[in-house]
């Protein structure tokens, strides 16, 4: 069973429907006692990093997530949920994240060094380029996936970036270390590629995939 963490800022419907299509059992909950029984956790997210971290801390979900990861439970962050895995974000003032991965979340520049302009937020389909092998990307083909974001992760830990995409800058699109994974794109909205990523994560959570 997969536990989808409900803290009021995630696209719960589309994530849960994707798991239904894959025939995986799930629960949507904000109760750590219920979520503790899940074999794997999904942290979705839409909106502000600062607001999300405030809610996660106030509800005790931040502590629960970190403890669950430390106990070996796989975790998948999606979009804002991926960004929350990192140490801090510059969005609306510097805010401390969950600190499960090393890096900072910064705004996508709207102008390149040569003066070309790009719309921010980045909304649309961009190509994945694989950087490191991972069970999350097993049998996943390089192709286009769907992004909606204004911020991206900058990290000195190159091994964390499993796949990247390019939108004015190189954007970490899939990250992972140990039992912590994240996608900047929305796998539940990214067709066959996204569904395969979710299927791989569910297999990891069930112990059928190698971490």
Query: In this structure, how many other beta carbons lie within 10 angstroms of the beta carbon of residue 90?
Result: 14
Sheet holding 95-96, edge to edge: 95-96, 86-89, 101-107, 151-154
pLDDT at 208: 65
Residue 38 is encoded by which pair of tokens?
């899940």
30, 31, 3: which is closest to 15 by C-alpha? 3
The whole-angstrom separation of Cα 183 and Cα 186 is 7
- What is the tens place of the pLDDT at every residue in 88-137? 999 999 999 999 999 999 999 987 667 778 789 999 999 999 999 999 99
Torsion angle of the four alpha carbons 75, 183, 98, 67, in this order, in degrees rounded to the nearest 10: 0
pLDDT confidence tier of residue 210, bands split at 50, 70 and 90: low
pLDDT at 39: 97
The whole-angstrom separation of Cα 132 and Cα 160 is 9
79 is an active site residue: yes
Distances (CA, A) of 204 to 94, 110, 179, 197, 211: 33, 37, 9, 11, 7
pLDDT at residue 139 tops 80: yes
132 is an active site residue: no
Question: Are the C-beta atoms of 128 and 80 separated by less than 8 Å?
Answer: no
The whole-angstrom separation of Cα 136 and Cα 151 is 23
Q: For each of the domains in the chain, give its residue range(s) and CATH number, in order of start.
A: 2-205 (3.40.50.880)
pLDDT at residue 192 tops 70: yes
Of 132, 186, 192, 206, which is the active-site residue?
186
**DSSP reduced 3-state for 30:** coil
The whole-angstrom separation of Cα 179 and Cα 85 is 12
pLDDT at 72: 97
Taking the whole predicted model, whether its pTM rises above 0.85 is answered as: yes
pLDDT at 74: 98
pLDDT at 10: 83
- What is the tens place of the pLDDT at every residue in 4-53? 999 999 889 999 999 999 999 999 999 999 999 999 999 999 999 999 99
> What is the rounded average pLDDT for all residues in the chain?
94
Of 91, 122, 149, 188, which is the active-site residue?
188
Of 79, 91, 122, 149, which is the active-site residue?
79
- Angle at which helices 191-205 and 12-21 pack, to 10 degrees? 80
- What would the mean pLDDT of 182-191 be, rounded to a whole number? 97
pLDDT at 111: 74
pLDDT at 116: 74
- What is the tens place of the pLDDT at every residue in 51-89? 999 999 999 999 999 999 999 999 999 999 999 999 999
pLDDT at 113: 66
186 is an active site residue: yes
Question: Are the C-beta atoms of 153 and 83 separated by less than 8 Å?
Answer: yes
pLDDT confidence tier of residue 209, bands split at 50, 70 and 90: low
């Amino acid at each position: 069973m997969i536990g989808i963490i409900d803290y009021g800022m995630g696209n719960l419907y589309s994530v849960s429907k994707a798991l239904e299509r894959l025939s995986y059992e799930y629960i949507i909950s904000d109760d750590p006692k219920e979520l503790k029984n899940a074999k794997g956790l999904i942290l979705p997210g839409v909106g502000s990093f600062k607001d999300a971290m405030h809610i996660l801390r106030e509800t005790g979900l931040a502590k629960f997530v970190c403890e669950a990861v430390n106990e070996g439970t796989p975790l998948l962050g999606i979009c804002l949920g991926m960004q929350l895995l990192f140490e801090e974000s510059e969005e609306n003032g510097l805010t401390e994240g969950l600190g499960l991965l090393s890096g900072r979340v910064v705004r996508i520049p709207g102008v390149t060094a040569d003066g070309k302009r790009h719309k921010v937020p980045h909304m649309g389909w961009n190509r994945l380029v694989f950087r490191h092998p991972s069970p999350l990307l097993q049998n996943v083909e390089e192709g286009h996936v769907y992004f909606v974001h204004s911020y991206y992760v900058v990290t000195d830990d190159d091994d964390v970036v499993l796949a990247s995409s390019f939108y004015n800058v190189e954007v970490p699109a899939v990250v992972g270390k140990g039992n912590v994974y994240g996608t900047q794109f929305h796998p539940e909205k990214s067709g066959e590629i996204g569904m395969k990523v979710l299927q791989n994560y569910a297999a990891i959570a069930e112990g059928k995939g190698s971490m």
